[in-house]
Amino acid sequence: QAYNVAVLGATGAVGRRILDQLAKSTIPFDQVKALASARSAGQTVPFKDGELTVEEATEDSFAGVDIVLASAGGSTSKALAPAAVKAGAVVVDNSSYWRMNDNVPLVVPEVNSAALKDHQGIIANPNCSTIQLVVALNLVFEKFGLKQVIISTYQAASGAGKAAMDEVLAEAQARLLGEDMADLAHVLPVKGDKKHYPLAFNLLPQIDVFEEEGYTHEEYKMIHETKKIILGDKNAKDIKVTGTAVRVPVMIGHGESVYIETGDENATADQIRAILADADQVVLQDDPATQTYPQPILAEGRRETFVGRIRPDLENPGAFHLWVVSDNLLKGAAWNTVEIAERLVDMDLVRVPDQSTFA
């Protein structure tokens, strides 16, 4: 059987990569549609050796479509995902809109693909910083348990979309020419917030808007999504998770400094290295003697999560520090989305159940 696939948000930084990952995937596809806003209708996007003509996405776009791969922002997904499900399509959505909905599985295939069995037509792709974190954490969790996790992120500009990347490059160029770069900030840290600051030659400790207790929405996403994915059906609701999310002037590839307290005081760094080295989806890059450690420019274009700098905490037995890097546009977005669709195909789950709350 071959499936008809629609990519919603096909002109965006993630959408273009979804098309590329789809072309390289094991999904047997027949027709592929590229959907975006009315602004882009009639443009073309590359696909395989040719190109696709972009169509405006409307509620009527999904007739005959089996799988929708969406990365067009929360408001678009809110409006169009239910229409796609009503038309009989299964939606894998990269926006944050559906992630914490109880009727929507939030999936990283290597961690919790079993959650796909209960899908009702919409499956959510987690936040980019959450995905690479849980890929590494779940392996440690399954062997040693986890009591506490504290994360500091170093997140690339591309996580805020193509306009943010362009803005940082323009700022860097202005600075190198001795010009003022402050006037060039219109998107970061958050497009819809009141103030904007340059990211070039700077760090911005704000990703998404501020919420209760001084945490940003990005920090809450990381906390709640990590718990939903890792703890899902495992009886371990008491892991403490917290963190700080920082935007750094890197184009592609998020870094994360992660402190973990395992449930085993006798766990060793060598054991953690061995577990991570054995996992297909992880590349261990951890050798101080040869200055080997994960870096964003080495992760760009790769599907795996890279882990290094693994070392025991000097005060707390059973606690460790790790450095985790991944391509936020691939494993953090486009590849994880397409990988979910691959699993749906493998598990024979490309269908909307009769009882769906969305249909």
Active-site positions read 128, 254
Q: Which of residues 146-205 bind ligand A2P (CB under 6 A)?
A: 161-162
Structure tokens belonging to residue 128 = 């980019």
Is residue 125 a contact point for ligand A2P (CB under 6 A)?
A: no
Structure tokens belonging to residue 130 = 């959450």
Q: In the bound complex, what is the minimum distance in angstroms from residue 144's beta carbon to ligand A2P?
A: 37
State the Cα–Cα distance between residues 127 and 332, nearest whole angstrom.
7
Is residue 143 a contact point for ligand A2P (CB under 6 A)?
A: no
CA dihedral sign, ordered 54, 60, 64, 67: positive
DSSP string, 285-336: --BGGGTB---HHHHTT-SSEEEEEEEE-SSSTTEEEEEEEE-TTIIIIIHH
**265 Ramachandran zone, left/alpha/beta (phi>0; psi -120 to 50):** alpha
Q: In the bound complex, what is the minimum distance in angstroms from residue 158's beta carbon to ligand A2P?
A: 8
Site string for ligand A2P, 38-77 (x = CB under 6 A): -xx----------------x--------------xx--x-
Is residue 36 a contact point for ligand A2P (CB under 6 A)?
A: yes
Angle at 148 between CA 147 and CA 154, to 5 degrees: 150
Q: Which of residues 73-92 bind ligand A2P (CB under 6 A)?
A: 73, 76
Q: Which is nearer to ligand A2P, 323 or 335 (CB)?
A: 335
Q: In the bound complex, what is the minimum distance in angstroms from residue 319's beta carbon to ligand A2P?
A: 37
Which one of residues 37, 101, 356, 357 is an interface residue with ligand A2P (CB under 6 A)? 37
Q: In the bound complex, what is the minimum distance in angstroms from residue 191's beta carbon to ligand A2P?
A: 10
Residue nearest ligand A2P, CB atom distance: 12
Q: Which is nearer to ligand A2P, 310 or 333 (CB)?
A: 333
Q: Residue 322: beta bridge partners?
A: 258
State the Cα–Cα distance between residues 9 and 57, nearest whole angstrom.
9
User: Can you point out the beta strands (E) in 225-278?
Assistant: 240-247, 254-262
Residues that bind ligand A2P (CB under 6 A): 9-13, 15, 36-37, 39-40, 57, 72-73, 76, 161-162
